Amino acid sequence: MAGYVICAFCGARIRSDRARCLRCGELLQAAAPAPAPLRPEWLQRAPGRTFIAGALVSLAVLIGIGVFMESDAPASRNALAPASTAGSRAGVAGSRPSTSIPGIGTVPEPATAMDANRIAGAAFTVGNLDEARRRYEEALQKRADDPEALNGLGLVLVRQGQVDDAIAHFTRAAQLSPDKWSYHFNLAHALGEGSHWEESIAEYRVASRLFPEDYATEYNLGMALHKKGDDQAAIPEFERAIALAPGEPTFHLSLGMSLEKTGKAADAAREYGQYLAMDPSAPDAEKLKAHIQALASGSGQRPADPRTPPAP
C-alpha cells in the first residue's frame, strides 16, 4: 500500500502515489511523513503492523507552510517560495549582511518582521526547526503582535512537542486575525494534541464556518468528536469530508468506526467494505474482512474507546 505525505502547498495528508493533491490540486513534492494513525482495537492485535486509518488531525497534523502560513484566502495556492528562491524574496542580495542556512542557502539578514517570517517559513519547509524558531522569534521581536509570526512559531512548537506554548501562540494569532481560517485550524489541532476536546471542537467549527469547502477541517472535526466520544455527532462530519474528497479511502474507515460505535453494524460494514474496495492492498485487509464478516454474523467486537489515546 502507498504511504502518505503532507502536501507542501496546503498541508493535506495525501497518498504518496498520487500525482496531485486532492485538496489544492498542486503537484505533490517530497514532504514530511504523516503521523502514526489511530487503529480500532480489533486491528491492533498484530504487533509491528501499521494500519493506515483515519488518525486524529492526520490531515495536516504536520502542517505544511503553504496556505496555513501566508494566504488570506483559504483556497489560495500561493505557497512559500522554494528554498532556492527564499533569499531573493527576503531581500536584495548584497544590500545587507547575509547568512548561510542549511537547506536554504545564503539569504540577507532580515530587516523587517516580514523578511524574518519568509526565512522562517523556508526553514520550516525544509525541516530546519531550530532556525525557523529563531527567525519567528526574531520577527516577534521586531513586531510583537505579528499574527503570521505567532502562527508560524506555534507550528514549530507543535513539531517540537511544546503544545501548551503553541496553543498560546495560535490563540493570540486567532485573536489578532479572527477571520483567518488557518489560525483557527492550527489552534484546533494543537488543542487536540493536548486532549482539550471541547475547545478543539469549538475551534474546528469556527474554521469550518470560515472555509466550509475544506475536507481536512471537516474530517478533523469528525475525529475530534470521535475522540471526545460523541460518535453520533462525528458521523455527519465524516460524511461531509467524504463528499468533499470522495477519493480518500481512509475517510470511509473512520466513518465506519463511528457507525459501529453507535450500533449501526450494517452501515459500518458497508463503509469498511468501501474502504477495502478503494484500497484492496491495505495492511490488515484480511483482518478487516474478517471483522466485516463478524459484524454480519452479529459477533463483531466494538472498536476501542475513542477517548483512549493511541500508543505512540
- Grid cell listed for 170: 495560535
- Grid cell listed for 98: 547575509
- Grid cell listed for 206: 469556527
pLDDT at 121: 84
More confident site: 219 or 16: 219
Q: Which candidate, 205, 176, 180, places its Cα nearest to that of 191?
A: 205
> Is residue 267 over pLDDT 80?
yes
CA distance 42 to 304: 8
Domain 81-171 has CATH 1.25.40.10: yes
Residue where the block lists cell 505533490: 28
User: Where do the domains of the chain lie?
Assistant: 36-56+180-312, 81-171
- 15 three-class SS: strand
Domain 36-56+180-312 has CATH 2.40.160.60: no
Q: What is the pTM of this model?
A: 0.70
Which tens digit of pLDDT belongs to each residue from 168-194?
999 999 999 999 999 999 999 999 999
Report the relative pairing of strands 13-15 and 98-101 from DSSP bridges.
unpaired
